[in-house]
């Protein structure tokens, strides 16, 4: 009830697209009843959470932040949200996001932008409304602003980690395959991964445990047992080797971000870690590779929104006209841009030059990490190149927006786990995160190292 009231009082933030107070109260009562009866309690029993509106929820409107899914009420539940429910979690509502999870500022949502609950205390953006990051901007703002105790996010190129950094919370993108994609509206299927957004690293460990697990309904879901992530957080990082990738020290890096990174290195050294410079030589190609692979997959995934099967339909004189009218009115500008880039990259004359080339570079990027992880246990980098920026900034410049993902995209291409942990503040009083990257399916080390930075 406290959270339902907070959500109503905090509507100005626009963190939720759909509020589900009735669902929340019903699940909370079920949880109370289990407690009263002395039944076994789930790992998330009674915990009020926000669900990114990219997860299909049975009987509850699911929009993906798009006009084209108008009125779409899924007849089934995503595996991740079902897992959370079985663990006792209480869903407060569906949180706002960039349209089809495409964005880094939560400004492409059909349902309007989300406001970051933080405000700069000095500098040119003092007092202005700031973006929460994206695409899981509603989830991050809800957790940071006290409108949920935790939230689900999805991350294709940084959408859990970057908003976590902008809002001063913890965001963990697990290894690709750790959480089922079944029932998650697809953006780029070889990259999409669900994960927890929480106040603490320990909360992330608990929530990941509840979300994860093999799912026969997703052929890319890993047939591995789910470890007790919380137990893997031993609090002892002594003797671990932490890699610092030299290619991430980019020209023109904000000195505050460099200072934060140096601070993180110093903390880990004090905790007994061995710090080692590593090289990820293909890092400079990661953004270009991502912005071929992700739009290519998106263009195929979004072909299903044809005005027949889901949501919006805008009539036309012929079937083709109806398709065009529906897609023209239903998709926003950024989504249309991605579909155009993707179909171009996949077209017969350019497939080899762009798509196949990008896939090859993706393998090189992945191999860079494999080599690095032969000599280190985890890698430490900044999460994002800046603190949260003002609403309206970078809006007209897609490339400036894409640069937000420079530190998060390589991990996504390699399918590795990465977590953003709040590690400090900018001189203007805004939170900044550091990213811990781990070996495939080694979220345990990521969480353990992350806790040492908290």
Catalytic residue set:
52, 135, 159
Taking the least distance from each CB to ligand GLN, the nearer of 44 and 287 is 287
Sign of CA dihedral 232, 182, 49, 302: positive
Q: Is 101 in the site for ligand GLN (CB under 6 A)?
A: yes
Q: Per CB under 6 A, which of residues 170..189 are in contact with ligand GLN?
A: 187
Closest approach of ligand GLN to the CB of residue 244, in Å: 24
Task: Specify the stretch interacting with ligand GLN by CB under 6 A; choose among 98-106, 360-368, 379-387, 445-453.
Answer: 98-106
CA dist 410 to 3, 383, 404, 406, 416, Å?
A: 36, 12, 12, 8, 9
Task: Specify the stretch interacting with ligand GLN by CB under 6 A; choose among 65-73, 114-122, 157-165, 229-237.
Answer: 157-165
Pairwise CA distance, residues 109 & 92, whole Å? 20
Size of the site for ligand GLN (CB under 6 A): 13
Taking the least distance from each CB to ligand GLN, the nearer of 104 and 283 is 104
Q: Is 105 in the site for ligand GLN (CB under 6 A)?
A: no
Closest approach of ligand GLN to the CB of residue 55, in Å: 13
Q: Is 113 in the site for ligand GLN (CB under 6 A)?
A: no
The residue whose Cβ lies closest to ligand GLN is 159
Count CB neighbours of 393 within 10 A: 18
SS3 of 17, please? strand
Q: Is 438 in the site for ligand GLN (CB under 6 A)?
A: no
Q: Indicate the Cα dihedral angle 212, 213, 215, 220, nearest 10°.
A: 80
Q: Is 294 in the site for ligand GLN (CB under 6 A)?
A: yes
Q: Is 377 in the site for ligand GLN (CB under 6 A)?
A: no
Q: Is the peptide bond before 135 cis (omega within 30 degrees of 0)?
A: yes
The strand pairing partners of 193, in sequence order, are 155
Task: Specify the stretch interacting with ligand GLN by CB under 6 A; choose among 117-125, 156-164, 343-351, 385-393.
Answer: 156-164
For residue 50 the two structure tokens come to: 């926000």
Q: Is 289 in the site for ligand GLN (CB under 6 A)?
A: no
Helices (H), 312-351: 319-330, 333-346
Taking the least distance from each CB to ligand GLN, the nearer of 294 and 414 is 294
Cβ atoms 121, 130 nearer than 8 A: no
């Amino acid at each position: 009830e406290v959270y339902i009231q907070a959500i109503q009082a905090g509507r100005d933030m626009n963190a939720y697209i759909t509020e589900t107070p009735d669902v929340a109260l019903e699940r909370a009562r079920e949880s109370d009843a289990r407690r009263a009866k002395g039944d076994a309690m789930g790992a998330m029993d009674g915990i009020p959470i926000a669900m990114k509106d990219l997860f299909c929820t049975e009987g509850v409107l699911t929009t993906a932040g798009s006009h084209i899914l108008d009125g779409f009420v899924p007849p089934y539940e995503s595996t991740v949200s079902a897992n959370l429910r079985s663990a006792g979690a209480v869903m407060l509502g569906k949180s706002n996001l960039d349209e089809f999870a495409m964005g880094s500022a939560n400004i492409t949502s059909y349902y309007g932008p989300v406001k970051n609950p933080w405000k700069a205390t000095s500098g040119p953006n003092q007092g202005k409304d700031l973006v929460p990051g994206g695409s899981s901007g509603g989830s991050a703002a809800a957790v940071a602003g006290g409108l949920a105790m935790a939230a689900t996010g999805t991350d294709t190129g940084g959408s859990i980690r970057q908003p976590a950094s902008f809002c001063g919370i913890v965001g963990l993108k697990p290894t690709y395959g750790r959480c089922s994609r079944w029932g998650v509206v697809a953006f780029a299927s070889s990259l999409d991964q669900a994960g927890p957004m929480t106040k603490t690293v320990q909360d992330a460990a608990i929530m990941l445990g509840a979300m994860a697990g093999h799912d026969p309904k997703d052929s890319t879901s890993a047939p591995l047992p789910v470890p007790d992530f919380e137990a893997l957080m031993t609090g002892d990082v002594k003797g671990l080797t932490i890699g610092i990738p030299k290619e991430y020290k980019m020209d023109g890096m904000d000195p505050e971000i460099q200072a934060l990174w140096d601070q993180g290195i110093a903390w880990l050294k004090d905790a007994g870690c061995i710090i080692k410079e590593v090289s990820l030589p293909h890092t400079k190609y990661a953004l270009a590779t991502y912005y071929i692979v992700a739009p290519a997959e998106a263009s195929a995934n979004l072909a299903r929104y044809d005005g027949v099967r889901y949501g919006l339909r805008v009539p036309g004189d012929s079937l083709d006209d109806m398709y065009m009218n529906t897609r023209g009115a239903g998709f926003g500008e950024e989504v249309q841009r991605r579909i155009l880039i993707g179909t171009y990259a996949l077209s017969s004359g350019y497939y080899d030059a762009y798509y196949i080339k990008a896939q090859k570079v993706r393998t090189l990027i992945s191999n860079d990490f494999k080599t690095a992880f032969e000599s280190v246990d985890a890698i430490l980098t900044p999460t994002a190149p800046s603190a949260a920026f003002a609403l309206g900034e970078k809006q007209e410049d897609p490339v400036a927006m894409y640069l937000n993902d420079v530190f998060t995209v390589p991990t996504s291409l390699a399918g590795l786990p990465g977590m953003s942990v709040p590690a400090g503040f900018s001189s203007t009083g805004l939170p900044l995160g550091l990213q811990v990257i781990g070996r495939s399916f080694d979220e345990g080390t990521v969480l353990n190292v992350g806790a040492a930075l908290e």
